[in-house]
Structure 1
Amino acid sequence: MHKYRISKYDPLFRDETGCYQKNEWTAISDIGKSFDGILLTDEEYIRVEDKYIDAVKLIIKFHSLTSLSVANLCHSFSKDEFLNLIKPYSQLYSESLLDFYTNFNGSQAGLDEVESLCRLQLREDIGVDIFSPRKLKIFIGYDYLMGVKSSKSLEPIIPEISALGLFVEKIDL
């Protein structure tokens, strides 16, 4: 298996132990705050979130998949808590995404559903495993970190992912 870290974080800002040294936003809750004198707006947040979604789509297409398996879906909040917590960011939650949060409980996800699963993970609203057995596993964790385990090297599509403005780091197993 090939393992990668894909993120908005430039590896040039990691110290010798791998810790990221630059002050950057890491969550939807950072909207409205400034980082190195730059205000994180809704628009900038969505622009970066879309890069991650586009990278996931590229990876799925590269593997010629039309769906992924879903396991261990865990909602971070009850529906009422969730609706209360997202009030400051409600403009970023479409009706279809809210409906998806409440009603999705499948074991397979098509591409549109994978997009919703990834958005909700990036926003720390859910935890979930999305994968294709023996081919692909995509991990999205806190602080806007994404990992990929792939049965084949992603080298052919790294330039496309990089062109999105994300950094791809190969992780030695």
Structure 2
Amino acid sequence: MYKYRISKYNPLTVDKNGDDKEVWTAISDIGKSFDGETLTVAKYVEVEDSYIKAIHIVMDYLETPFLLINKVIRSFSYDTFMEMIQDYRELYTEEVLEIYSNANDLEQLDKDKLDSFCRLQLREDLGADVFYPRRMKVFIGYDYLMGFHTSKSIDSLIPRIEGLGLFVEKH
């Protein structure tokens, strides 16, 4: 098993406590200033897209046509969720809302549905195990952290993933 951490955080700037100075970590940070720059919707989406592209790169390399989800946890009731997303409503398409409402354990997600599902994970709206048996697992956690466990090395993909503006650490 090969293990990788992929994130927007430069490991060279993270301090001994694991903290990166003045960085945004969630969708709720849109509009706030970090290191002198305001996080815009466009910048947020650009980074979110990079994470989704990284997942696709690994899926294509490992020849996985879909990923399974299991142990789906919704962070909020639907009504609470709808209230909470009002400030970011333009980021929640009908497909994203459909996924939030209807994602089920052991459902196979093609790449389009997977995009919406993983966006919800990055936004901390859903939690789940995301995997393809015996080939790969994707871990998306709080603060925009993502990891992969893979059946074979993805070292050759590191330059492509880093080209998206992400950092790859092997574990």
TM-score by length of 2: 0.96
Amino acid at match of 1:166: L
CA contact (8 A) 2:70 2:104 kept: no
Q: Residue 6 of structure 1 aligns with which residue?
A: 6
Q: Residue 131 of structure 1 aligns with which residue?
A: 131
Q: Residue 100 of structure 1 aligns with which residue?
A: 99
How many pairs align?
170
Per-residue CA deviation, residues 47-85 of structure 1 (Å, 9 max, x unaligned), is 100000000000111100101121000100010000000
Q: Residue 49 of structure 2 aligns with which residue?
A: 50
Taking the aligned partners of 2:89 and 2:111, their CA distance within structure 1 comes to 24
Taking the aligned partners of 1:104 and 1:144, their CA distance within structure 2 comes to 21
Which stretch has the larger CA shift, 111-120 or 34-43? 111-120
* Structure 2 counterpart SS, 1:65: coil
Q: Residue 71 of structure 2 aligns with which residue?
A: 72
CA contact (8 A) 2:72 2:103 kept: no
Q: Does 1:34 align with 2:38?
A: no
Q: Structure 1 runs of 4+ off > 4 angstroms?
A: none
Give the superposition deviation at 1:106. 5.2
Structure 1's unaligned 5+ residue stretches are: none
Give the superposition deviation at 1:16. 4.1
> What CA RMSD, in Å, does the superposition of the two structures yield over aligned residues?
1.1
Structure 2's unaligned 5+ residue stretches are: none
Give the superposition deviation at 1:45. 0.4
TM-score by length of 1: 0.95
Which stretch has the larger CA shift, 104-113 or 65-74? 104-113
Provide the identity percentage.
52
